[in-house]
Amino acid sequence: MSQVPQDSAPAKQNSMPNNENNPSIPALFDLSGRTAVVVGAGSGLGQASAIGLADAGAHVVVADLNVDGAEETVRIISQRQGDAGSTGKGGHSATASPGAEAARVDITDSESVNALVAAHPEAQVLVITPGANVRKRLLSTTDEEFDRVIDINLKGTYRLMRGFGAEMAERGRGSIVTYSSFRALAIEPGQGLYAAAKAGVVQLTKTLASELGPQGVRVNAILPGPFDTPLTQQIKADEEWWNAYAEKTALGRWGQLHEIAGPVLFLASDASTYVTGHSQLVDGGWMAQDGRFSPRL
């Protein structure tokens, strides 16, 4: 029998990487010991995002202009964790628990945003969810409506990214999750201002991902499809409009709030350490099909 020369034998590979290089799946999604600031967490998708991150072990700063809504989210988190609630730190939080604390922030005011950053410079996760819409045909909109939609959706996101991004870059680690929309990719008559603002969020996200990548900071966008939130109540009030949205999705229904938590957790956690500059659709398959006709084949 011929033998393979020693110097030509393939190098032996480890059949099982060590735990450091091959962490368990639960460990990848574990946010224990991390602070996550979720802005717009007093209701809707922001609240669902905050609850999901708290369930994964993060200490969540529930930030919102509506303090009552923020405190209600803290109460829900505390109830899920069996916490009694305690006093927040720095006077910035009126309600707190080991898993969450409430904070007021006005994302249209740079001083308010800077105060939130100063109160939580240690944040390893930032989730930016606020949104505002004006459903009017473009030629009927006003400068004031344009400014409001841009200020909340785009400039508010920019202010938060700028403030927390600088802190994360200095530490060499962090994850920022912005909220864009499927409307950044597919418009509907009457949603031009919102679509333009959310498309801008996607570009800001890509830009910051590129600029902060060398510092170890990841930046990704969530693009929700049709979810039943305070922002979609005008659609819900019109049965034909509501049903048309459901029928357009591949799943044939609207999204449930808890269904946003998984994608947010993925992007916030170590499960996505090689994902940045990404736009993650959570749309029930809306963008996967044109939805106009299903042939009988």
In the chain, what are the domains?
Answer: 30-284 (3.40.50.720)
**Residue 245 among the catalytic residues:** no
Considering only CA atoms, which of 64, 58, 61, 60 is closest in space to residue 42?
A: 64
Amino acid at 199: A
Digit-by-digit pLDDT tens for the chain (297 residues) are 444 444 444 444 444 455 668 899 999 999 999 999 999 999 999 999 999 999 999 999 999 999 999 999 999 999 999 854 443 443 344 455 568 999 999 999 999 999 999 999 999 999 999 999 999 999 999 999 999 999 999 999 999 999 999 999 999 999 999 999 999 999 999 999 999 999 999 999 999 999 999 999 999 999 999 999 888 888 999 999 999 999 999 999 999 999 999 999 999 999 999 999 999 999 999 999 987 667 777
Instruction: Select which of 158, 179, 194, 245 is catalytic.
Output: 194
pTM: 0.88
Contact (Cβ atoms closer than 8 angstroms) between residue 221 and residue 264: no
Name every residue whose Cβ is closer than 8 Å to that of residue 126 and which is 6 or more positions away in sequence. Answer: 36, 37, 39, 160, 161, 164, 165, 168, 174, 175, 176, 177
Q: Torsions phi, psi of 193, nearest 5?
A: -65, -45
| pLDDT score of 19 | 64
